[in-house]
A and B are shown apart, each in its own frame.
Chain A
Amino acid sequence: MKGKQTVRTMLHLFRHEWLREWRQGQWLAGSLLYLAGGIFAAQLMLRPAGPLAWVAMYWLLMLFASVYVLSRTYLGLSNGLLMYYKVATPGVTLWLIKVLTGTLSLWVLMALASILMGVWMGYPIQNTGIFLLTQFLAGPLLATVLTLVSAMARGAANPAQLMPVLGFPLLVPCLLLVHRLSRMALDGLEWSVVWPYAGAMAALLVMILALGTLLFPFLWRD
């Protein structure tokens, strides 16, 4: 009975999140333009882009874009909406929904970034399957860490500055793995080489999710 209730709350919240994002409209358009502008500037400067530069540029832009997108999860909330959330849900449920929403939007952005960069700068990836797996794992990792950071930065004197300052160092271990997997996708390696690294990424994701579930109630208490 209680489980059913929780699921219903989560579904409701999830719908609420997307409706809110959709009605505000400018958020989606804003993050797309942010990414497109970045990619266009990159292709102007890196026109005959080597494959290594392509991969580096891709993840660097995704890093900046994800900080931009996910800083909204808690920083953009009005006080009224925050009150509503606090009454309506236990913090962890809300956090999980936020992670899910963030992951989905990051996947959309990653797909669009691949298409735009493919059109403007060529597409050097030889094994797209590995690249897709990398994106599939990177989405939730970035979303988990950055929603936590966003919750921490809320209420600080300089939240917009804190997002990258806290987020970048925490994300570097993930990015190292992401970069390594992307290099494998670039060279079109065998899948058997890929699995240990993908496993390490999945383990990191599970660890951070567990840690976030334990720590989030402390961030939420005000």
Chain B
Amino acid sequence: MVYVFWMGWMGEVPRKVILNESVRNLYFHVPMWFGMILMLLGAAVYSLRYLLFQHNTDDAWASALTQMGILFGILGLITGMVWAQFTWGAWWSGDPKQNASAIGLLMYLAYTVLRSSFEDKRRQARISATYNILAFFCLIPLLFILPRLTDSLHPGNGGNPGFSAYDLDGRMRWVFYPAVIAWTLMGWWASNLWARYNLLKNRIQS
């Protein structure tokens, strides 16, 4: 993490017209989405495990991973919006990718609403696990298929070069991949703490 932050703020980056220093966002914005997808995938897997085996720990993991995924999603959206303000000229331009990620976040925020509206713990765990799996399967076409059907300003779409085309020279690659790994591990560790905290809290209460 330290390495990523140091390189993110201080390291040399290639300078391009329009993008300029904002290309540094690659170290923060893009890993957020990688992290979010991986954590939501993890949440769906733990939900499935809960449905099959009914262990409380699986439920706690699924819930914590989802919440951390939402946090990463919000951070990803904010970093993306700041970047968009300086390159596209507006915080929100209704770009398909922006819309899709906002809807994805709404889906998972609905998960937290669903969770909080059950008194019975077992029922809460069962229903929210089912919803989580459904939401993940709706998220996949939303994030990866629908934006490709329409034109987008987002790098990697509509004739715009993705980060691998020329933004990323050898040096940036050396920061980018560790950044993805570091952010994901950080999210995973935080969800682990959060899940264990919630399990302990439940045990004390009951």
Interface residues of chain A, those whose CB is within 8 Å of chain B, are 148, 152, 155-158, 162, 165-166, 168-170, 172-173, 176-177, 180, 197, 200, 204, 207-208, 211, 215, 218-219, 221-222
Contact = CB atoms under 8 A, between A and B. Distances in A.
Contacts of A172: 103, 106, 142
Given A152-B114, A221-B126, A173 B134 contact: no
B110 A148 contact: no
B127 interface: yes
Contact of A200 (B129, B137, B145): B145
Interface of B is mostly: helix
Interface string B104-131: 1011001001100111000100110111
Nearest to A214: B133
Contacts of A173: 103, 138, 141-142, 146
A211 B113 contact: no
Interface of A is mostly: helix
Given A200-B145, A218-B130, A221-B126, A166 B114 contact: yes
Contacts of B175: none
B119 A157 contact: yes
A211 B114 CA distance: 19
A40 B131 CA distance: 35
A176 B146 contact: yes
Contacts of B142: 172-173
Contacts of B104: 169
Interface of B: 51, 103-104, 106-107, 110, 113-114, 117-119, 123, 126-127, 129-131, 133-135, 137-138, 141-142, 145-146, 149
Contacts of A221: 126
A73 to B, nearest CB: 16
Given A172-B103, A218-B129, A222-B123, 13 more contacts: A155-B118, A156-B117, A157-B119, A162-B113, A165-B110, A166-B131, A170-B134, A170-B138, A200-B149, A204-B141, A208-B137, A215-B134, A218-B130
Nearest to A215: B130
Given A158-B117, A170-B107, A218-B51, A211 B145 contact: no
State the 6 A-B residue pairs at the shortest beta-carbon distance, nearest first: A169-B107, A169-B106, A156-B117, A157-B117, A172-B103, A173-B142
A207 B114 contact: no
Given A172-B142, A211-B133, A211-B134, A219 B117 contact: no
Given A170-B134, A173-B146, A156 B114 contact: yes
Contacts of A152: 114, 127, 130-131
B34 to A, nearest CB: 21
A155 B123 contact: yes
20 contacts: A148-B134, A152-B131, A155-B127, A156-B114, A157-B119, A162-B113, A166-B114, A166-B131, A169-B107, A170-B107, A173-B103, A173-B142, A176-B146, A200-B145, A200-B149, A207-B137, A208-B138, A211-B137, A219-B126, A219-B130
Q: Which of B51, B113, B117, B119 has the most CB of A within 10 A?
A: B117
Contacts of A219: 126-127, 130
A26 B99 CA distance: 39
Contacts of A157: 117-119
A156 B138 contact: no
Contact of A215 (B117, B119, B133): B133
A11 to B, nearest CB: 28
Contacts of A222: 123
B68 to A, nearest CB: 19
Nearest to B118: A156
B97 to A, nearest CB: 13
Contacts of B135: 170
Nearest to B147: A176
